[in-house]
Amino acid sequence: MAYQGFSIKRWLTTTDHKDIGILYIVTSIYFIIVGGSLAELVRIQLAVPSNSLLVPATYEQTVTLHGLIMILWFLSPLGVGLANYFVPKQIGAKDMSFPRLNAMSYWLYLFSGVLLLSTLFLPGGGAGTGWTLYAPLNTSLYSPQPGVTLAALAFAMLAVSVTISSINFITTILRARAKGVTWRRLPAFTWSILMTNILMLFAFPPIAAALVLLTTDRVLGTVFFSSFEGGSILWAQLFWFFGHPEVYIVALPALGIMAEVLVTFAQRPLFGKTLFVIELSAVTALSIGVWIHHMFMTGIGFDVREAFSLTTLAISVPFEGLVLNLVLTLRKGTIKLTTPMLYALGGIFFVILGGITGVFQGFIVLDYLFHGSYWVVGHFHYVMVGTAIFGLVAALYYWFPKITNKMYNEKRGKILFFISFIGFNILYFPYFFLADMPRRIESYAANPQWWPFNLTATIGALIFGPALLLTFANLIQGYRKGKGAEANPWGARETEWTGNFTGAAQAEEGVAADSQKEVSRMEENSPVEKSRFTYLPVTISVGAAVFLTGFVLFWPVAVMGLGVILAAIIQWFKDDVRDKYAVVKEAIGENWPFNSVSKEKVGVWIFLVSEVVLFGSLLTAYIYVRLRSPVWPAAAQVHNITIGTTNTLILLTSSLAMILALQAIRSGSLRGLKSGLIGAFTLGTAFLAVKLGVEWPLEIANGFVISGGLAPSSYFTLMGVHALHVGVGLAGMTYLIAKAFSGRFTAQSHTSVELLGLYWAFVDIVWLILFPLFYLV
Amino acid sequence: MNRIFVYVLVWAVMVAGTLLQVVIFNSSATANLKNLGVVAIAVAEILLAATFYLNLRYEPKILALFPILAILAVVVFITAATLAVGM
């Protein structure tokens, strides 16, 4: 089954990486138009000291939505879209490792954005907390409107999308490289995407944890962020553990793109490529150890601040190294000033200015001066907008002929670059003169000396915004009316253009034809019609959006949403059992050091990494509030140790049953597999029944209720998240049992048993941490 | 050694460890000593489960790097957050 040309059905059901890439790119451009319009409103409001365009509450919501959309729904996803299209092409893979999950990542991203925008239409409007959603402003006491809860859940939904996407990218780059694409030959852009996704894997689970805690605070009455012991510092810890790496998540793909563009248009190899990769890795590693520099003003101990000041300064070394690599690539080059090259050079200019102004804030004493001022706004817009947008627009122009087979209007592209570059600087440079103007204020009547700089910035915004809009219009016009492009109009040497992965033999067309032949062959040999199109990813994502909306506004709607999700997941399993989805098999290529590990297993291990970080973040929150609390109820007073111990033994035995099931099928015993799975399932169900049906009612009857302080808040939330994981494991076991009874497992083919076994052992290990922490220590 | 026997043995050790944790908890030792005992047994149980039930013995060693890196990040996070308590 194939859909030719434009068809709504095709776009709703596609799992092809190129299609998904285009969907990401188009959607993220839609979001920049929304987020950019909000920015224009902000700038018009600030054009004069006292403006009545936006009342304070609306201004706060406008700023918040602008920040959230631009960072999370535009900048990152545009990079993800480009990566979706070009990483498989650069490494010679036929598709992403998990195409259906890839489609689901996109749909979750889209509908999370729809949810976020819908908060504006709820009573009381959306969040007015700033994009950082700082506590206690994010609590029901100060922001009672349901829009804040829905915004938090939309953000959490995006975090799920990003995590799935990261697992997919990392697995694809580790396991799907064509022969010849060794680590040494991996293109700079793919390297940057690998590092970006590793960062995403570590950065998004903490924010997901924070959003879970915020949601329980707002919906179930827990007190993580409304209590003194948790409060603003706990939120800041969790948020900035995500928030600072997010800067690099946005910047690294842009740097990777700049490297590709510079190499092509300077006609020189990337200067010190090995060093470039080492620096990328160093930035990735260091960026998860600098977050406390966002909290220098919170009164955290001086030693801690000093340590994080050092790590902040340290990260500037490899980061500036990356910039030097790019600049030195131009040395002795024959430079062609095409539109993408101009944008790449503009991006380098901005990264230098943004980087230098960032170093200032690594110094504690200077941070006292700049913190919360427009100086900081100037710094991060030079990094986020200047580096990232100019880098990403460079990519759109650079790869435009590859995606569309057409050429854009080069002259118009260059003119728009110069207007954008000038407009950008008129907009953001004045911010460096506003180091005494606080962020997030809607009027400054008492400080008229700020007016000239604000007016200049607004003029800049009225130049830069429309120029960016016209840039997208230029690309659209190129797509509709542009001249046909040659196969490699730039004379680029990278693999996505040449198709030469080994340096000679294998051409991209060959790979594509290969892929097509394989799909055709599989379809011919299959008793059922196989397809690479499926409605399930979009259905699950719609179900998730409906569920979350209902969760906040009207419970029956949530039940409907849950029903849709469950029905779609069951259908997904059925499709797998019936072998209906046409899985594209990659040819054996460069897999080192994962030669003997299947892509599914690599994927599950990477998923477990994100789970470790998620539970680690929740445990950090628990340890943090417990250490800060002057009194904490003794475990024996609030918990029944006998029940807790019994449940531990039940779960340990369930794990044993699961590993014995795996062992049985390894030796070919289907009967042993069935017994093991049923045993593990029964014991897992018993664990949940004891926890939810016996233990919790007893504790609640004794007055230990979720809203009764930090101790019950932590207990019920962490236990609840763990119970949810047990539930997911049981759902997986149901699928395995059904498949086992239909006789589809053999000694040679039982990957899913092994994968669920890994997950179940992990759930068991988490309990081995929770049990002593809550019941005994 | 037969793998099934090893798995059952690991399970038995973990069951015994859990019971020992409860015994330590109910003992008359000082609170610090009790906590030390309970946590030490928990760490041992986690290592056992990771080694045998997650099959790290048989997997390529590179896979062990994933959870180690994740745990390292969590340790950095917990340490910094805990140090921040002392503000």
* Mean per-residue pLDDT, A572-580: 85
Q: Report how far apart, in Å, the C-alpha atoms of A46 and of each of A374, A379, A445, A554 are.
A: 12, 19, 10, 38
User: Same structural domain for residues B37 and B65?
Assistant: no
Tokens of A185: 């030959």
In this predicted structure, the answer to whether residue A175 has a pLDDT above a threshold of 80 is yes
pLDDT digits (tens, 9 = 90+) for A491-544: 999 999 998 887 644 444 444 445 445 444 444 444 455 678 999 999 999 999
Give the pLDDT confidence score for residue A434 in this predicted structure. 96
The CA-CA-CA angle for residues A748, A752, A755, to 5°, reads: 115
Q: Chain B closest CA to A419's CA: distance in Å? A: 43
Give the pLDDT confidence score for residue A510 in this predicted structure. 47
Q: Do A655 and B49 lie within an 8 Å CB cutoff? A: yes
What is the DSSP track for A83-98?
Answer: HHHHHHHHHT-SS-SS
Strands (E), A454-495: none
Of B18, B67, B78, which is closest to A649 when you measure between CB atoms? B18
Q: List CB contacts (< 8 A) between B84 and chain A.
A: 233, 237, 292, 295, 300-301, 304, 624
Q: Do A612 and B67 lie within an 8 Å CB cutoff? A: yes
Give the pLDDT confidence score for residue A519 in this predicted structure. 43
3-state SS, residue A13: helix
pLDDT digits (tens, 9 = 90+) for A217-236: 999 999 999 999 998 999 99
If one counts the domains in chain B, the total is: 2
Tokens of A689: 């029944």
pLDDT digits (tens, 9 = 90+) for A303-317: 888 999 999 999 999
Burial of A705 (0-12, 13-18, 19+ CB in 10 A): middle
Task: Assign A6 a pLDDT band (cuts: 50, 70, 90).
Answer: low
- Which conformational region is residue A332 in: left (phi greater than 0), alpha (psi within -120 to 50 degrees), or beta? left
pLDDT digits (tens, 9 = 90+) for A260-271: 999 999 999 999
Check if the beta carbon of residue A20 is closer than 8 Å to that of residue A102: yes
Check if the beta carbon of residue A409 is closer than 8 Å to that of residue A482: yes
* Portion of chain A with pLDDT greater than 70, in percent: 96
Burial of A693 (0-12, 13-18, 19+ CB in 10 A): exposed
Check if the beta carbon of residue A644 is closer than 8 Å to that of residue B19: no
Q: Which domain covers residue B33, as residue numbers? A: 1-54
User: Same structural domain for residues B49 and B69?
Assistant: no
A229 in contact with B, Cβ within 8 Å: no
Domains present along chain A, CATH in parentheses? 17-439+448-516 (1.20.210.10), 635-777 (1.20.120.80)
CA-nearest of A17, A6, A5 to A584 is A17
B43 in contact with A, Cβ within 8 Å: no
pLDDT digits (tens, 9 = 90+) for A97-135: 999 999 999 999 999 999 999 999 999 999 999 999 999
User: Same structural domain for residues B16 and B49?
Assistant: yes
B1 in contact with A, Cβ within 8 Å: no
Tokens of A637: 């007073």
CA-nearest of A316, A314, A292 to A303 is A292
Give the pLDDT confidence score for residue B78 in this predicted structure. 76
In this predicted structure, the answer to whether residue B73 has a pLDDT above a threshold of 90 is no
Alpha carbon distance A653, A683 (integer Å)? 7
Find which of B6, B8, B18, B38 to mutate to test the A interface (most A CBs within 10 Å of its CB). Answer: B18
Pick the residue with more confidence: A165 or A359?
A165
Which of A225-234, A710-719, B65-74 reaches the highest mean pLDDT? A710-719
Give the pLDDT confidence score for residue A84 in this predicted structure. 98
Q: What are phi and psi of A666, to 5 degrees?
A: -60, -35
* Mean per-residue pLDDT, A407-420: 98
The residue written with tokens 């920040």 in the block is A67
Q: Report how far apart, in Å, the C-alpha atoms of A79 and of each of A66, A270, A474, A626, A726 are.
A: 19, 21, 20, 40, 34
Mean pLDDT, chain A, whole residue set: 93
In this predicted structure, the answer to whether residue B56 has a pLDDT above a threshold of 80 is no
User: Same structural domain for residues B37 and B12?
Assistant: yes
In this predicted structure, the answer to whether residue B59 has a pLDDT above a threshold of 80 is no
- The answer for A 576-635 residues in CB contact with B (under 8 A) is 593-594, 596-597, 602, 605-606, 608-610, 612-613, 616-617, 619-620, 623-624, 627-628, 635
Give the pLDDT confidence score for residue B84 in this predicted structure. 66
Alpha carbon distance B27, A570 (integer Å)? 49
Which chain A residue has the Cα nearest residue B69?
A609
User: Same structural domain for residues B3 and B38?
Assistant: yes
User: Same structural domain for residues B50 and B75?
Assistant: no
Q: Do B35 and A597 lie within an 8 Å CB cutoff? A: no
Residue A373's DSSP bridge partners are A438
* Portion of chain A with pLDDT greater than 90, in percent: 85
In this predicted structure, the answer to whether residue B49 has a pLDDT above a threshold of 70 is yes
* Mean per-residue pLDDT, A45-74: 96
Q: Chain A closest CA to B27's CA: distance in Å? A: 12
Which chain B residue has the Cα nearest residue A625?
B85
User: Same structural domain for residues B32 and B68?
Assistant: no
Q: Do A301 and B70 lie within an 8 Å CB cutoff? A: no
Give the pLDDT confidence score for residue A455 in this predicted structure. 98
Q: Do A616 and B87 lie within an 8 Å CB cutoff? A: no
User: Same structural domain for residues B65 and B32?
Assistant: no
* Mean per-residue pLDDT, A145-173: 97
In this predicted structure, the answer to whether residue A50 has a pLDDT above a threshold of 50 is yes
Q: Do B84 and A301 lie within an 8 Å CB cutoff? A: yes
Q: Do A301 and B86 lie within an 8 Å CB cutoff? A: yes
Which chain B residue has the Cα nearest residue A620?
B78
B29 in contact with A, Cβ within 8 Å: no
User: Same structural domain for residues B46 and B25?
Assistant: yes
Find which of A308, A656, A754, A773 to mutate to test the B interface (most B CBs within 10 Å of its CB). Answer: A656
Give the pLDDT confidence score for residue A362 in this predicted structure. 86
In this predicted structure, the answer to whether residue A140 has a pLDDT above a threshold of 90 is yes
pLDDT digits (tens, 9 = 90+) for B7-47: 999 999 999 999 999 999 999 989 889 999 999 999 899 98
Q: Do B38 and A594 lie within an 8 Å CB cutoff? A: no
Residue A573: half-sphere exposure toward Cβ, Cα within 13 Å? 15
Q: Do A596 and B76 lie within an 8 Å CB cutoff? A: no
Alpha carbon distance A544, A732 (integer Å)? 19
Alpha carbon distance A547, A566 (integer Å)? 11
Give the pLDDT confidence score for residue A596 in this predicted structure. 81
Check if the beta carbon of residue A1 is closer than 8 Å to that of residue A10: no
* Mean per-residue pLDDT, A287-291: 91
User: Same structural domain for residues B9 and B45?
Assistant: yes
Choice among A57-66, A466-475, A513-522, A699-708 with the minimum mean pLDDT: A513-522
User: Same structural domain for residues B47 and B76?
Assistant: no
* Mean per-residue pLDDT, A683-709: 97
Q: What are phi and psi of A669, to 5 degrees?
A: -95, 100
A733-742 contact pairs (CB < 8 A, 24+): A733/A677, A733/A680, A733/A681, A733/A684, A733/A760, A734/A681, A735/A573, A736/A677, A737/A674, A737/A677, A737/A678, A737/A681, A738/A573, A738/A577, A739/A577, A740/A670, A740/A673, A740/A674, A740/A677, A741/A674, A742/A577
Of A304, A663, A764, which is closest to B80 when you measure between CB atoms? A304
* Portion of chain B with pLDDT greater than 70, in percent: 92
Of A292, A641, A757, which is closest to B80 when you measure between CB atoms? A292
Alpha carbon distance A682, A685 (integer Å)? 5
The CA-based dihedral angle spanning residues A652, A653, A657, A663, taken in that order and rounded to the nearest 10 degrees? 60
A236 in contact with B, Cβ within 8 Å: no
Task: Assign A4 a pLDDT band (cuts: 50, 70, 90).
Answer: low
CA-nearest of A202, A229, A249, A329 to A83 is A249
Find which of B74, B75, B76, B82 to mutate to test the A interface (most A CBs within 10 Å of its CB). Answer: B74
Check if the beta carbon of residue A116 is closer than 8 Å to that of residue A133: no
Q: Do B15 and A652 lie within an 8 Å CB cutoff? A: yes
User: Same structural domain for residues B32 and B74?
Assistant: no
Give the pLDDT confidence score for residue B66 in this predicted structure. 75
Give the pLDDT confidence score for residue A310 in this predicted structure. 93
